[in-house]
Amino acid sequence: MTQSLRVLVATTVLGLPALAVAQHEGSMELAEGAAKPLVQGLCSACHPVSLITGSTGYDKEGWEYLFGNMVDLAEPIRGQISSYLAENYPATGKYTPKLIEGDTKIAFKEWKVPTLGQRPRDSLMARDGTIWWAGMFGSLVGRLDPRTGEIKEYRLDPTARPHSITEGPNGDIWYSGNSNGTIGVIRRATDEVDVFPIGNPDVKDPHTMAFDENGILWFTVQNSNYYGSLDPATGDVYVAKPPTEGARPYGIRRDSKGMMWIAYRGAFKIARLDPNTRELTEFETPNYGNDPGKGWNIRRLAIDEQDNVWYVDSAWGEIGRYNQETGEFKQWQSPNGTESHPYGIEVVDGIVWYNESDVRPDVLVRFDPATEQFQSWTFPSGIGVIRNMSHTPDGNLVVAQSSTNRVGLVLVGEENIAKYSDILVSQN
C-alpha cells in the first residue's frame, strides 16, 4: 500500500470533521460520466467533492498535477479520472488574480512533502534553522532541513490530526491534537512524543498555540469556543470561555509586553489576554455590526515591532490594524477585493505580508503601511491555501500550501536571495 493510500484509509476510518474550507465550494453532486463513481469514491476520502465542482477547473495535465499531490494513482485509473475531470471541469480562468507590480524582489523555494494529501500547514523555522509543519490529514508533524532537503515525518496517533505547531522555549516542537483534545510535544533531545490530554470533554479541538513569557502554553479552541493554557512542567490545564457567544477563538500571538492576542473567527472582534491575571478584554473591529451575509471571518493575526495588532478580515477581503497606543482601528481592502479571502498574515520589519486564498493561482501580498502600497506575486506551485505564516530571523517567510502539498520559504530581498542561492539552484 502506498503512503498516500494509508492516509486515505486512516482519514476514511476517522470520518470527516467539519472542514474549515477557504476554497470555493461548488455542488456536492458530480457530473455524470463513466468515471463518476471512481472520483466519488477516491476523491471524497479527505474532502467533499464540492472542492472539485467549485474549482477553477484544469486541463487533463493540470488535473493530474493537482491530484498527484493528494493521491498516487496508477494507470488506467489516473487517466480515466483526469479525462473525466478535464471534460466536466475544464480550465475556466475563474478566480484569476489581479497582481500589483512593485520594487521588492522575492524568490520562492518550495518542497513537496512525502505523505500525499496531508494538508501541510502552520509551518515555522525553529531556532536551529530546520523547518517544521503540521500535516493535519496525515496526523503527522514534519521536519525539513532546508540546506539538504532532508525530511522526516513524525507519525502521531491517527486521531490527533494536528492543526498547528509552535516552538517551545527549549526548542521542543508542540502540536495541537485538533481531533482528540490533546496537546503534544516532540522532544528534540530524544525525538520522542509526549501527549497531554486537555481532559475536559467540552474542550475538543485545540487550534493555535503561543507561549507566554513564563513558558506557559496558551491555546485557542475554535469549535468548542474556548481558550486555555497548559503548564508544560506539571501538565496542569486551565480553560475559559470568551464572553462573546460563538466567538470561535482562532489565531493567537504574544506582543512585546507579554500580552496574548486572540482573533475571533465568529465575531468582528479581537481580544487581549493578560496571561498573569487571566483577564480578557475584547475589542470590536470596524466591521462590527455589519452583516457580511456569509459569516464572520477574522482568523489570523500578527504583531509588529510597535505592538500594533494586524489581522485579516476575510469576510470583507480586508486587512486591519489595531493601534494599542491610540486605540484606533484602520482597515484596507485587499487588491483582489471582497472575495479575495486574506488568510495567513505576518509582519516583518514593519512590512505586512499575507495571502489572498480565494484566487487561483493563490497570491502573496506585500503591504507597506508607511506608503499604503501593495505589491503581489503568485505562488509557484499555484494551488492551495496558506493557512498561517511565520518568519525567519533573517526576515524570510515560512509558508505551507495545502492542495499542492508544499512547504516553502519566501526569500525577501536581494540579500536573502543571494544568501540562499545554493538551495534555490540545487533542489526543486
> Is 403 a residue that touches ligand HEC (CB under 6 A)?
yes
Measured CA to CA, the distance from residue 161 to residue 142 in angstroms comes to 13
Q: Are 154 and 173 in contact (CB under 8 A)?
A: no
- Tell me which residue of 320, 319, 329, 325 sits closest to 307, measured CA to CA: 325
- What gap in Å lies between CA 151 and CA 143, rounded to an integer? 6
CB 262 within 8 A of CB 220: yes
Q: Which of residues 314-373 bind ligand HEC (CB under 6 A)?
A: 360
Please choose, out of 39-47, 217-225, 274-282, 331-339, the segment that lies near ligand HEC by the rule CB under 6 A.
39-47
Is residue 21 close enough to count as binding ligand HEC by CB under 6 A?
Answer: yes
Q: Which residues contact 392 (CB under 8 A, 6 or more apart)?
A: 125, 398, 409
Alpha-carbon gap, residue 379 to 362, rounded angstroms: 6
Pick the binder of ligand HEC from 42, 198, 247, 262 (CB under 6 A).
42
Longest CA pairwise span in the chain (Å): 64
Residue 297 CB, nearest approach to ligand HEC (Å): 15
- Tell whether residue 52 is a contact of ligand HEC (CB under 6 A): yes
8 binds ligand HEC (CB under 6 A): yes
Pick the piece of the chain touching ligand HEC (CB under 6 A) from 1-9, 101-109, 329-337, 418-426: 1-9
The least distance separating ligand HEC from the CB of residue 402, rounded to whole angstroms, comes to: 3
Q: Which stretch binds ligand HEC (CB under 6 A): 45-53, 234-242, 310-318, 370-378?
A: 45-53
CB 311 within 8 A of CB 324: no
Counting Cα atoms < 13 Å in the Cβ hemisphere of 418 gives 3
Residue 43 near ligand HEC by CB under 6 A: yes
170, 164 in Cβ contact below 8 A? no
Query: Is residue 303 close enough to count as binding ligand HEC by CB under 6 A?
Result: no
Based on the shown chain and the rule CB under 6 A, indicate whether residue 70 belongs to the binding site for ligand HEC.
Answer: yes
Residue 196 lies near ligand HEC (rule: CB under 6 A): no
- Count of other CB atoms within 10 angstroms of residue 211: 19
Identify residues 79-118 at the interface with ligand HEC (CB under 6 A): 81, 85, 116-117
Say if residues 4 and 12 touch (Cβ distance below 8 Å): no
Q: Does the protein bind ligand HEC through residue 119 (CB under 6 A)?
A: yes
CB of 343 to ligand HEC, least distance (A): 10
- Can you say how many angstroms the Cα of residue 359 is from the centroid of all Cα atoms in its chain? 16
Of 425, 419, 368, 423, the residue nearest 394 (C-alpha): 419
Judged by CB under 6 A, the residue of 47, 207, 248, 269 near ligand HEC is 47
The stretch among 47-55, 165-173, 344-352, 368-376 that binds ligand HEC (CB under 6 A) is 47-55
**Residue from the set 30, 35, 71, 106 that interacts with ligand HEC by CB under 6 A:** 71
400 near ligand HEC, judged by CB under 6 A: no
Q: Which of 322, 373, 382 lies closest to 55, judged by CA?
A: 382
| Residue 230: all three cell numbers together | 497548559
The minimum distance between CB 75 and ligand HEC, in angstroms, equals 13
* From 2-10, 229-237, 281-289, 419-427, span contacting ligand HEC (CB under 6 A): 2-10
Place of cell 471571518: 297
According to CB under 6 A, which residues from 124 to 153 bind ligand HEC? Answer: 137
- Which residue's CB atom is positioned nearest to ligand HEC? 117
Residue of 76, 80, 77 lying closest to 34 (CA atoms): 80
Task: Please state, in angstroms and rounded to a whole number, the distance separating the CA atoms of residues 326 and 329.
Answer: 9
160 binds ligand HEC (CB under 6 A): no
Give whichever of 253 and 360 is closer to ligand HEC, judged by the CB atom.
360
Q: What radius of gyration do the chain's Cα atoms show?
A: 21
Which region, left, alpha or beta, applies to residue 93 given φ > 0 means left and ψ of -120 to 50 means alpha? left
Q: Is residue 55 a contact residue for ligand HEC (CB under 6 A)? A: yes
Write down the least CB distance from residue 47 to ligand HEC, Å. Answer: 5
Name the residue nearer to ligand HEC (CB basis): 139 or 225. Answer: 139
Which residues form the interface with ligand HEC (CB under 6 A)? 4, 7-8, 19, 21, 23, 42-43, 45-47, 51-52, 55, 67, 70-71, 81, 85, 116-117, 119, 137, 360, 383-385, 402-403
